[in-house]
Structure 1
């Protein structure tokens, strides 16, 4: 089963990119972030005409996450627990029909400028995510937490780490919160297969970052032990970043033996 996470950066603006990617790469499951669309306005035909079941958690103009799956999606849940006042659409989870696999799609807050209220929100959101992950891990089944984490875990995950020292994506507090997630027993799928440097998933639109490969790795798939045991491969698909009107992110994949 091939599972991909892709920050699409606006599903309407990237409709052609999304359709082409689904046709050419054919994921079994795709978790999208930054759909920037309310649920009713999501262009469902892009997914459904290609045989995908679709669940969305949208928000007008900002944020928004979605799951596309070849198999039915059951027990769908939206919103990260722990703060009833949080109206930002950043979390969706579901079980893949006919399996015990639980997938969670997430768009973790950026947190800039840091320090400040947005950074405080990011760290509080990560603490809430940790609590939810603990509950999910207690079920002892395959679990995939995939999305745009807006965290650069290590210096090796940036072409120029010195440029990110004061950024919320790379501040010690963000990286420590990411490590606390991993310490629950999660595995970074890409790093299980590719410990080498030079692997990135995001390149800014400005200053020729893509042409210079001035990237960062912030799109991650974290796996429970039960999912990691079934990991066959993990990789970053860079080709879509070079397409016309691309997202500034590119898809990141895993292949599970399910």
Structure 2
């Protein structure tokens, strides 16, 4: 069962590329971030035409997450239990469309057991002293506690937390660590990295890095300053898996070619093939 995660940075703007990607890479289930649409303008027909069921969580033209699967899609959950809300400048906190979970693989024909798959668009943080950073860390802490409890209760759970984590957990995951430090940028601060490590401390496994170690292995290149041709990227998209799922990995890679050409997202898909 081949599972991919991809921040498409506007699904409607990249519908043709998504459809071609699914066919080219023979994807069984796709976790999508930044759909940037509501249910009423979500391109349902794109996935139906390609033979996929799809579940979406989107409230506005911002954020938005989805899961598409051609091997079964059951027990859809929009948001996770206790998910923090965000309210800026004293406004009432509101829920953002940043998480969706579903069980995929219930109709797999290759003998693989089902997987509990999450598509996550972790809050950006915006600035080291911004209240959005507090929200980001709270969001991650709540998700980690929930995940740790699930793994403790069900050690054999085949679980994948996938998506855009908006964290570069190691120095090699950015093109120039000193640039980030000098400019006091997010994604590399110790609180953010500690939050990411808490998931691996809880037992989850980054199944891509051992097969594609850095430096220079990135999943995101900003549109600004021609970051992609300059090879100035970041590794911020991950598939973190439970031990029971991690042991079934056959292959894993980053589809860097999908960042090339006209109309590309600023992120590349991360793909894992599970037995």
Shorter-chain TM band:
over 0.9
TM-score when scaled to structure 1?
Answer: 0.96
1:95 to 89, 99, 103: 103
What do residues 100-132 of structure 1 show as CA deviations (whole Å, max 9, x unaligned)? 311111000000122121100000000111122
CA distance in 1, matches of 2:17, 2:212: 27
Match of 1:13 in 2: 13
Shift of 1:80: 2.3
CA distance in 1, matches of 2:134, 2:258: 33
CA distance in 1, matches of 2:79, 2:101: 9
Give the paired residue count: 257
> Does the CA-based 8 Å contact 1:107-1:148 persist in structure 2?
yes
Match of 2:167 in 1: 151
Match of 2:39 in 1: 39
CA distance in 2, matches of 1:49, 1:7: 21
Match of 1:121 in 2: 135
SS in 1 for 2:160: strand
Shift of 1:61: 0.8
Match of 2:271 in 1: 253
Shift of 1:195: 2.5
Match of 1:220 in 2: 238
> Does the CA-based 8 Å contact 1:31-1:105 persist in structure 2?
yes
CA distance in 1, matches of 2:259, 2:83: 35
Match of 1:234 in 2: 252
What do residues 134-164 of structure 1 show as CA deviations (whole Å, max 9, x unaligned)? 2332322111110000000100111112222
Residue correspondence of structure 1 range 26-105 to structure 2 within 5 A: 26-83=26-83, 85=85, 86-96=94-104, 97-98=106-107, 99-105=113-119
Shift of 1:192: 2.5
Does residue 154 of structure 2 align to residue 139 of structure 1? yes
Shift of 1:84: 6.7
Question: Comparing 23-32 with 93-102, which one deviates more in the overlay?
Answer: 93-102
CA distance in 2, matches of 1:197, 1:83: 33
Distance 1:256 1:59, change over 3 A: same
CA distance in 2, matches of 1:44, 1:27: 17
CA distance in 2, matches of 1:189, 1:197: 16
Question: Comparing 45-54 with 136-145, which one deviates more in the overlay?
Answer: 136-145
CA distance in 1, matches of 2:95, 2:187: 22
Distance 1:164 1:76, change over 3 A: same
CA distance in 2, matches of 1:95, 1:122: 26
Shift of 1:208: 1.2
Mind listing any 5+ residue stretches in structure 2 that lack a counterpart?
A: 86-93, 108-112
Q: Structure 1 residue runs of 4+, over 4 Å off?
A: 83-86
What do residues 49-82 of structure 1 show as CA deviations (whole Å, max 9, x unaligned)? 0001101111211001000111121111111221
**Aligned-residue CA RMSD (Å):** 1.3
